[in-house]
Amino acid sequence: MEKIKKTGAPCWFKKDFKRESVKDKLYRWRMNVKYIYQRAKYGLFGEKLKTEEDKEREKKTSSHIVYMLGDAPEYKEISDKYFDEYKAIENYRDECKDKAFALFSKWFWHLWD
């Protein structure tokens, strides 16, 4: 058996950027630009969205508020629509599950024989 050469980083950490397509490079570049823009505008965890009241409360209670992208004003509407649709899908799944269990309990003994 050959000895496996140990390297400092795990295999998933090494990415072969030489074989990456132009489309993937462009996508990665765009994501980096978006990240830099959002970090400059809102801070790492939304520090720039905090009000003076939030900052005072953090000093008193030693707790921190972490804002997500959906808390930003320009993404609020999109985030609300997403969560409304997500709730509708979850409700539909629950209704389907209840109907399936009702049918299964009704016809169980017919399936058994």
pTM of the entire predicted model: 0.49
- Contact criterion met (CB below 8 Å) for 71 and 46: yes
Cβ neighbours of 42 (radius 10 Å): 19
Contact 46, 66 (CB under 8 A): yes
pLDDT tens for the chain, residues 1 to 113: 455 555 555 555 556 556 777 788 778 877 788 778 777 888 877 777 888 888 888 888 888 777 777 778 888 888 899 999 999 999 999 999 999 999 999 888 887 76
